[in-house]
């Protein structure tokens, strides 16, 4: 077997980054060009948002619950068990809500997009679409990106809320804390900066999930095996990018918003 030269590998990687950047730019630019496929956006919003609802609610609830269980032990040692609402609220809203929801949706939808678009590429359906006078970027990519960004935002808000409810459930039933105290502690601890950070992240993560899924789908080659490869790569890349971007965005926002 002949190994590819480092130059060729570098060229392929640079080309992929360039293609991904172009796809991302087009997906935004197409929002301001006619035709805008509103029906497709709604359909995708239903598939991505409503379809992801059960797992997001389930994971959100139990994340909040386990967060309360884990932190209760430590807080009790310092006599600060009353702060459990604050801890769950800040963790969920600033970090766990956006990241976990993002990774869940990436696993479910980036793979779906890559496999669906990849299958269309290898069966010449994308070429057929172009031949019929439709821009696949407008018809397929932009609706998915718009719907994912929009729906991930609301899914994250929902995940945060059910996470808080999970924390409340544990606090009340297992730790015997007062529900009112939990809620007031949680709500008073959240500042504008926390909520802002928690709402900026899903917008970025939604964009990453959809563009990565569409990119791997639209560039799938090599029949069914190629589609399978594209699907796996889409999930892995989207998940890794979410975690990496999360770190940098957190750093950036903490500096911009002058966190203490």
Partner 1 sequence: MSAPTLPLDATATAIEAHSGFAIVFEDVRLAFEENEVLRGISFRLPYGETKALFGVAGSGKSTILKLALGLLKPDAGRIIVLGRDVAQMREEELFALRGKIGMVFQESALFDSLTVSENVAYRLMEEHGIGYEEIDLRVREALRFVELEHTVDMLPSELSGGMRRRVAIARAIITQPELLLYDSPTGGLDPVTSNTIIELLVKQRDVYKTSALLVTHRLQDAFTMATHQFDKQTKQLRALPRGQYCDVPMSFLMLRDGKVIFDGDVRQLAHTKDEYIREYIS
4 near partner 1, judged by CB under 8 A: no
35 near partner 1, judged by CB under 8 A: yes
Smaller CB distance to partner 1: residue 1 or 132?
A: 132
Smaller CB distance to partner 1: residue 28 or 90?
A: 28
Q: According to CB under 8 A, which one of 20, 53, 66, 130 is a site residue for partner 1?
A: 130
**% helix, strand, coil for the chain, step of 5:** 85, 0, 15
Q: What CA–CA distance (Å, rounded) separates 220 from 227?
A: 6
250 near partner 1, judged by CB under 8 A: no
Q: What CA–CA distance (Å, rounded) separates 198 from 218?
A: 31
Q: What CA–CA distance (Å, rounded) separates 39 from 202?
A: 23
Closest CA to 199 of 158, 228, 237, 230: 158
Q: Which span sits near partner 1 by CB under 8 A: 58-66, 97-105, 127-135, 185-193?
A: 127-135
Q: What CA–CA distance (Å, rounded) separates 87 from 65?
A: 12
82 near partner 1, judged by CB under 8 A: no
Cα–chain-centroid distance for residue 72? 29
1 near partner 1, judged by CB under 8 A: no
Smaller CB distance to partner 1: residue 13 or 191?
A: 13
Binding mask 106-125 for partner 1 (x = CB under 8 A): -------------xx--xxx
Closest CA to 236 of 216, 257, 220, 219: 216
**Binding-residue total with partner 1 (CB under 8 A):** 15
Binding site for partner 1 (CB under 8 A): 35, 119-120, 123-125, 127-135
């Amino acid at each position: 077997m002949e190994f590819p030269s480092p130059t060729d590998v570098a060229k392929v990687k640079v080309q992929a980054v360039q293609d991904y950047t172009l796809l991302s730019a087009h997906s935004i630019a197409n929002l301001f060009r006619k035709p805008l496929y509103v029906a497709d956006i709604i359909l995708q919003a239903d598939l991505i948002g409503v379809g992801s609802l059960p797992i997001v609610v389930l994971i959100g609830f139990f994340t909040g619950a386990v967060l309360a269980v884990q932190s209760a032990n430590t807080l009790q040692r310092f006599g600060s068990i009353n702060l459990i609402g604050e801890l769950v609220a800040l963790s969920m809203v600033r970090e766990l809500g956006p990241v976990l929801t993002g990774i869940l949706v990436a696993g479910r939808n980036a793979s779906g997009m890559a496999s669906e678009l990849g299958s269309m590429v290898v069966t010449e359906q994308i070429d057929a679409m172009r031949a019929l006078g439709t821009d696949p970027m407008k018809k397929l990519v932009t609706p998915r990106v718009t719907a994912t960004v929009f729906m991930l935002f609301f899914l994250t808000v929902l995940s945060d809320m059910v996470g808080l409810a999970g924390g409340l459930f544990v606090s009340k039933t297992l730790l015997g804390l007062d529900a009112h105290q939990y809620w007031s502690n949680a709500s008073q601890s959240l500042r504008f900066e926390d909520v802002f950070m928690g709402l900026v992240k899903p917008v970025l993560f939604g964009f990453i999930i959809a563009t990565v899924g569409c990119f791997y789908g639209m560039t799938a080659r090599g029949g069914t095996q190629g589609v399978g490869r594209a699907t796996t790569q889409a999930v892995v890349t989207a998940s890794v990018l979410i975690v990496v971007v999360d770190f940098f965005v957190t750093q950036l926002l903490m500096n911009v918003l002058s966190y203490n």
